Copies of this chain bind each other. A is one copy, B any other.
Amino acid sequence: MNSISLVLFEDNDRLRESLVFLLNNTEGFSVLADYNNCNDAASAVRIYKPDVVLMDIDMPGKTGVEGVRMVKEAMPFTAVIMFTVFEDEDKLFECLCAGANGYMLKKTPPGKLFEAIQEVKDGGAPMSPSIARKVLNSFKHIRSTQYNLTPRELDVLQLLIKGYSSKMIASELTISFDTARSHLKNIYTKLHVNCGKEAISKALIERIL
């Protein structure tokens, strides 16, 4: 019942089959489906609703980067762990933006990988140590660029994160209450969120500030 359900996307048949075998013979894990490409990733996760998706980056056809994007669009709360041999910073960055929840190198021993699966299911962000730093570096690039927040909007967002109310933001920035709220609304639109709380989460988690 509380076993973690998975769907795998991995073009290397031997590796994939090994993983499926290992996972299905490990208590607490059950592989619902596995694919050698992620062309149908969206429908796959919609059908199986797995707790966790293990996604290779380098696959023929659609790349894992597109894969994670599709998964996240289809089922936003499905945890996705990228599983790759390469430590390509650009791809890493793209995957982050696409919403991947973890990054494990293929050289990771199975035990660690299983821990990572458990961890990501628990809301963690497992990453192979060697790419952890890269991840931080990638995030530095983001710093709002992604959402095209204006300088003023960043000011507002920063205060919002401090827990300031619209009124407080207005007085802090010496602008009118309505202007502050106007900025907030624009921020929400740009961040694709519907309220301040979501904006704060997104900003803090994605390290926009």
Contact = CB atoms under 8 A, between A and B. Distances in A.
Interface in A87-125: 115, 119, 122-125
Interface stretch (A5-13, A18-26, A31-39, A160-168): A160-168
A140 interface: yes
Contacts of A158: 123
B132 A119 contact: no
Interface stretch (A61-69, A78-86, A197-205): A197-205
B201 A163 contact: yes
Instruction: Please classify how large the interface on chain A is, using the bins under 10, 10 to 19, 20 to 34, 35 or more.
Output: 20 to 34
Number of copies: 2
A195 interface: yes
Contact of A204 (B127, B136, B201): B201
Nearest to A124: B136
A114 to B, nearest CB: 13
A193 interface: yes
Given A132-B132, A201-B200, A204-B201, A195 B119 contact: no
Contact of A123 (B127, B133, B209): B209
A198 B133 CA distance: 27
Interface in A135-156: 136, 140
A156 to B, nearest CB: 13
Closest 4 CB pairs of A and B: A129-B129, A163-B198, A204-B204, A200-B200
